[in-house]
Each structure stands twice: as structure tokens, then as C-alpha cells.
Amino acid sequence: MKNTIQNTLQVWHIPLTAQESMLGPLLSILTESEKKIAAQFKFEKHRRRYIVAHANLRIILADQLKIPLNELDIATQEKGKPYITDNPLFFNLSHSEDLAVLAVSWQGNVGIDVEYIKKDISTLEIAQRFFHPLEYDQLKNAVPEQQTEFFYRCWTGKEAFLKTTGLGVANYLQSFALDIQEPNITRLIYTSDELKEFEKWHVYIDKPSNDYLSTIVSTIEPLEHNPPLIYPQNLITGWEAHS
């Protein structure tokens, strides 16, 4: 499979609404530490979402690497970003409500974030507190019917960017700014001096459905001015992939 996906980003959309009969087999795929995490969730829906997301993550990555599931070794960097030991496959997982998204690349670093779109959110108030002033101005000047989508483009873009760099969200939200007016491929319009090495990274918008918006950040360049995104058929659980 590797030879067919050079210079592209695989994006997997994983519904987290598995039938009860699926949970046992999916749970058996998890490591002991992951099973302990699953057992700690207070609400069953959160436990189910965790199991489905992380089991699918393991199945997809093992399939990419052509190795047995029990040989897949996922470690974490100091600030929590996961990686596969001794392997060049890049990946990142995110979930919101009943959807997980997974980005996979053989060619370059990648981060992804997805959010369920809430229509009643106080976009300007949150943006003024957490976004860079350049982003806040774009949002404030947008027509009202665009403000919600612009907000989520910015929020998911910032999360994905910081997940890609491995820097974490806490101290860097206002250290860079995104152009949130572009619908498919966007870009960084400002980076602080400490983030200059990342200023040429690429930002791609993905809409799994009308209820969700996700953003992928990667070192991989666009393909003839189009996002380099492909949506593999989901052979893991029988769910239909995005097309």
C-alpha cells in the first residue's frame, strides 16, 4: 500500500457508534494500559468511543505496516504526541462526540483535529480570549452566517498545528495565526520567532459531514493546488468511509 500513497495524506473517518456486539472484539485489541483507561470512564458512551477509536487506530496502523497487531508498539513523546517506535509512519488521531478522525502519512509529519459544530457557541468571546488578534479580526469581520465555520476552522487548525509540532496547546495559541477565510487549503499568516521553522507547513480543511469540521496540518505540499487528501475504504468495521 505504501507505494500507492506517496505525497498524500490518508484521512480516516471513524464513526464511534459501534453496536454492543462489536465492543468485546474491539476491546480485545487494546493494550492492557488502554483497557485500564477505558475502564476508568464514568459514562458508557465515553468508554465506547475510546474503545472504538483506539482499536481502529491499532488495526489501521498494523495494516499499514503489514505487521501483527501484537507487534505494534505505540509510544508517546514528552508532551504526549504518539508515535510508532523505529518506524517512519506518521499518524495522529482526534475525536469529538461520535466521530474520530485519523490522519496517516508515510511522507511527513501530520496533526489532525476534529470538532462537533455547536451552533450556539460564543465564537467572538472565545476568539478574543484565545485566538491571535489577526484571527479575531477575520472572525469579527466575517458575515454572521460564516462566523461559526470560520471559528471552527481556526480552532481545529490551531489544535492540529500544535499537535503536529508536539508543542502542546497551553502556551502557544497566540504564537501563530491562520488565514481562516480559505475553504480548502489555508496557510499560516503569522508565526512568532520561536515557531519560524514551522511557517511553511500546510493546512487543509476537511468536512466529514455538516455536523463536524476537521483540519489537517502537515509538511506535505498540495497536489496541483488541491489538498493531498485521500479517503481509504474502511475495511475494518464495515462502516462506509468518506467519499
Q: What is the pLDDT of residue 43?
A: 96
pLDDT attached to residue 89: 93
Instruction: Specify whether the CB–CB gap between 136 and 128 falls below 8 A.
Output: yes
Enter the pTM of the model.
0.90
Q: Are 150 and 127 in contact (CB under 8 A)?
A: no
Distance (Å, whole) CA 115 – CA 117: 6
Q: What is the pLDDT of residues 14-59, one digit of tens each?
A: 999 888 888 999 999 999 999 999 999 999 999 999 999 999 999 9
Query: What stretch of H or E contains 82?
Result: strand 82-84
Phi-psi region of 238 (alpha: psi -120 to 50; beta: other; left: phi over 0): left
Mean pLDDT, rounded, of the chain:
88
Please report the pLDDT score of residue 125 as a whole number: 96
Left if phi > 0, otherwise alpha if psi is -120 to 50, otherwise beta: which for 202?
beta
Q: How far apart, in whole angstroms, are the C-alpha atoms of residue 92 and residue 109?
A: 9
pLDDT tens digits for 142-173? 998 899 999 999 999 999 999 988 877 677 89
Q: Residue 5: its pLDDT value, please?
A: 56
pLDDT for residue 8: 84
| More confident: 2 or 35 | 35
Tell me the pLDDT band of 6, cut-offs 50, 70 and 90: low
* pLDDT at 13 > cutoff 80: yes
Is residue 237's pLDDT more than 70? no
C-alpha–C-alpha distance, residues 14 and 17, integer Å: 9
Using alpha carbons, list the distances in angstroms from residue 234 to 12, 77, 104, 155. Answer: 8, 28, 14, 27
For residues 105-118, average pLDDT: 94
Please tell me the distance from the alpha carbon of residue 80 to that of residue 180, in angstroms, as a whole number: 27
Q: What is the mean pLDDT of residues 114-126?
A: 94
Correct CATH for 2-230 of 3.40.470.10, 3.30.70.60, 3.90.470.20, 3.20.20.10? 3.90.470.20
| pLDDT, tens digit, 9 for 90 and up, residues 169-190 | 677 899 999 999 888 888 899 9
Phi-psi region of 168 (alpha: psi -120 to 50; beta: other; left: phi over 0): left
Please check whether residue 92 is in contact with residue 102, taking contact to mean a CB–CB distance below 8 angstroms: yes
Average pLDDT over residues 111-127: 95
How confident is the model over 124-141, as a mean pLDDT?
Answer: 95
